[in-house]
Structure 1
Amino acid sequence: MPKKPLLEFTDRGIYCAKGKFYIDPWKPVDDAVITHAHADHAYVGHKHYLAHHLSREVLYYRLGEIQLQTVEYGETVMKNGVEITLFPAGHVIGSAQIRVVSQGEVWVVSGDYKTENDGVCTPFEPVACHHFISECTFGMPVYQWKPQAQLFDDMNNWWRYNLENNLATVVVGYSLGKAQRIIQNLDMLNGKIFTHGVIENTNEALRRNGVILNPTVRITAESVKEEVRKGIIIAPPSAVGSPWMRKFQPYSFGYCSGWMAIRGAKRRRAADRGFVLSDHADWNGLISAIDATGCEKVYLTHGYTASFTRYLNDIGFDAHEVHTLYGGEEEVVEAPLQPSPREREQEESEVQVSPTGGDLEGASLSEANEGGTI
């Protein structure tokens, strides 16, 4: 009889039968190990949660008074004889890869990750293993990120141009991850940073956890419109096209997403500027991260799973496509808008396939009303 693998894919999530715990389960379970606080990986309803300590306050903010244990990177927890250790994933503040070890068998679950050091969260660290469970949100050659310093130079120059031309500046990014990267890389000499309520709620949770962020000002009903327009406004995707955002007209609107690498994405978002900024690994980052593990097998959970699996097998990896619910929880708010048939033809000629998942993070629909009014 073949040996049962240490981790298996079930209808509830990634399961360790020997340790009696799940990793990022999407249905209620007794014991859940969480890679990070985005809503497609951290669900409400589990009896017990284990996560990195920098995810603590954001998890409480998003999920309520859960039973939560937190640990540091490199700290090992034993569950029924199985070792669990968290390592940096570089995705967002508090994100972790989960290493699971029993009797010499080593598995690593990446969660979401990026390999560029963004200067905000703990940088990604390759972890040696036999089996690597990896995302591949941007697993196509068209997705190759420029250094973030170059991107933020462009953003700061655009902000200065808007100030000189009496335009408010609105930047859209997910409330956990992109928002903090943007805030930490803006030129504060240009002016103040104003935030939508969803963004500021997340900032406050991170600050309660000891994270130091640049000063930000929450936009409320008492905010003075002209003062806000003199700064820069950070908003979640749920605010796009809303009455809240229209209050700041005239403005120039920039959208931050890895999907901005694709022709037509900026136009479909009705954005004036598209900034190719993602908290996921690009094509080269995925390949280098997988190779650095030295794994015998790699399992791809969400993104361009079919095509990336074929490519990895072609270049010598033992790769397998698996089906999970990661990347799909917030499609209503966060997923790229659907292209027209003509645009789809153009894009398929460029990237060959369509993604099954996305850069799917940020605010829920219910959070969209927390921005305040002016």
Structure 2
Amino acid sequence: MSDLVVQRPEGLYCPPGDFYIDPWRPVPRAVITHAHSDHARYGNGHYLAAAPAEGVLRARLGEIALQTLPYGERIAHHGVTVSLHPAGHVLGSAQVRLEHGGRVWVASGDYKVAPDPTCTPFEAVRCDVFITESTFGLPIYRWCPDDEVFAEVNAWWARNAAHARASVLCCYSFGKAQRVLAGVDPSIGPIIVHGAVRPLNEAYRAEGVPLPDTRMVTEVTDKADLRRCLVVCPPGAAASPWLRRFGDAQTAFASGWMQVRGNRRRGGYDRGFVLSDHADWPGLLQAIDATGAERIIVTHGSSGAMVRYLGERGLRAESFQTEYGDDVVEADLQPASEAGA
């Protein structure tokens, strides 16, 4: 019996349904797991995504032929029953459940199992075959609870503010930035966001996600605010002229990669906070076990290590070669409207 999902040059393809999942080249029909730029690309003829993803997809891709589906609702296409289920990664992220000929496959996209107030929690979906990410698929990656991480972030910000220094926290503009904003203590000082972050904040708020008040740097009238603020911006902004207006600022990067000593130094940051929107090693294993799948297909990240480990546990494990990043690589760090602003 042929597989429900196979590899093609354009991406992961469902032959009986004649559609792709997160294709990296333009195709007629695409099912999109989430709006990060390595999974949702411009140029497809038709897009299907979870309903909560509509705002962020349109913010990033503009006018596209987009069909949305509430979580859990099923539709049939060429005899394949398709439904989308929460992935807990970012707003609107989804796992794609495919049912055809009595078989069930689930393509996870990116996911995390830890709680996150900015998106719908991960939902385990029973299946025969599970296509899982493995971005942080090594035993070294084990995340601390968010409240511990944000206690560190708030303490760092408060110390800097007491010394009249801005706190510049670099993180991906979609997903991580909103999670940071939801987790910090806004009573410490004003919060300024980069222009790449603002439209995504608006999309989150439109979906009912509460975020603290934020300002653009051009909206700051009291220069003293620039010496006690928290600045949330994408990584590329830290090396741009945009940052100069904050003076002698302290910089930090929020990422799962900060788990490994040396990444902070190589990035030139003063601090590193371990905060990821992907599952850690225990989370990946927890999610895989919960599916009940006997066959696991691993994509991107530490796929070789994960395949070996699962094989040793008696599962049928293999990998797909994809063009997804090991984490998000944002090509749109600084929109033209923000250049030099």
TM-score after normalising by structure 2: 0.96
1:189 to 2:187 alignment: yes
The residue number in structure 1 matching 2:328 is 360
Distance 1:282 1:154 in 2: 20
Q: What are the Cα deviations for residues 107-148 of structure 1, in whole angstroms up to 9, with x where unaligned?
A: 000000011011221111111000000100001111111111
Distance 1:129 1:168 in 2: 49
Distance 1:219 1:101 in 2: 49
Paired letter, 1:212: P
Distance 1:288 1:58 in 2: 28
1:228 to 2:195 alignment: no
Give the CA deviation at 1:225: 4.1
**TM alignment of 1:288-307, pairs within 5 A:** 288-307=286-305
The residue number in structure 1 matching 2:311 is 313
Would the aligned equivalents of 2:133 and 2:300 in 1 still touch at CA under 8 Å?
Answer: yes
Give the CA deviation at 1:5: 1.2
Would the aligned equivalents of 1:170 and 1:235 in 2 still touch at CA under 8 Å?
Answer: yes
Q: What are the Cα deviations for residues 188-236 of structure 1, in whole angstroms up to 9, with x where unaligned?
A: 1112211000011211233344443222112237755432332211010
SS of structure 2 residue aligned to 1:133: strand
The change in CA–CA distance for 1:299 and 1:174 in structure 2 (over 3 A counts) is same
The residue number in structure 1 matching 2:21 is 23
Distance 1:285 1:144 in 2: 8
The residue number in structure 1 matching 2:144 is 146
1:137 to 2:104 alignment: no
Would the aligned equivalents of 1:174 and 1:236 in 2 still touch at CA under 8 Å?
Answer: yes
Task: Flag structure 1 segments of 5+ consecutive residues without an equivalent.
Answer: 328-357
Would the aligned equivalents of 2:196 and 2:332 in 1 still touch at CA under 8 Å?
Answer: no
Paired letter, 1:367: Q
Match of 1:118 among 116, 140, 165: 116
The change in CA–CA distance for 1:274 and 1:366 in structure 2 (over 3 A counts) is closer
1:13 to 2:5 alignment: no
Would the aligned equivalents of 2:166 and 2:229 in 1 still touch at CA under 8 Å?
Answer: yes
Give the CA deviation at 1:370: 4.5
Distance 2:333 2:272 in 1: 26
Would the aligned equivalents of 2:237 and 2:333 in 1 still touch at CA under 8 Å?
Answer: no
**TM alignment of 1:167-178, pairs within 5 A:** 167-178=165-176
1:102 to 2:70 alignment: no
Aligned length: 341
Distance 1:367 1:54 in 2: 25
Q: Percent identity?
A: 47
The residue number in structure 1 matching 2:279 is 281
Paired letter, 1:130: D
Would the aligned equivalents of 1:196 and 1:370 in 2 still touch at CA under 8 Å?
Answer: no
Give the CA deviation at 1:286: 0.6
Q: What are the Cα deviations for residues 312-358 of structure 1, in whole angstroms up to 9, with x where unaligned?
A: 1112221101101111xxxxxxxxxxxxxxxxxxxxxxxxxxxxxx2
The residue number in structure 2 matching 1:355 is none
The change in CA–CA distance for 1:165 and 1:158 in structure 2 (over 3 A counts) is same
The residue number in structure 2 matching 1:248 is 246
Match of 1:157 among 155, 158, 164: 155
The change in CA–CA distance for 1:37 and 1:99 in structure 2 (over 3 A counts) is same
TM-score after normalising by structure 1: 0.87
**TM alignment of 1:85-100, pairs within 5 A:** 85-100=83-98
SS of structure 1 residue aligned to 2:67: strand
The change in CA–CA distance for 1:284 and 1:91 in structure 2 (over 3 A counts) is same
Match of 2:62 among 61, 64, 73: 64
SS of structure 2 residue aligned to 1:198: coil
Task: Flag structure 2 segments of 5+ consecutive residues without an equivalent.
Answer: none
Would the aligned equivalents of 1:54 and 1:93 in 2 still touch at CA under 8 Å?
Answer: yes
Q: What are the Cα deviations for residues 154-212 of structure 1, in whole angstroms up to 9, with x where unaligned?
A: 10011111111111111111011110010001111112211000011211233344443
Paired letter, 1:202: L
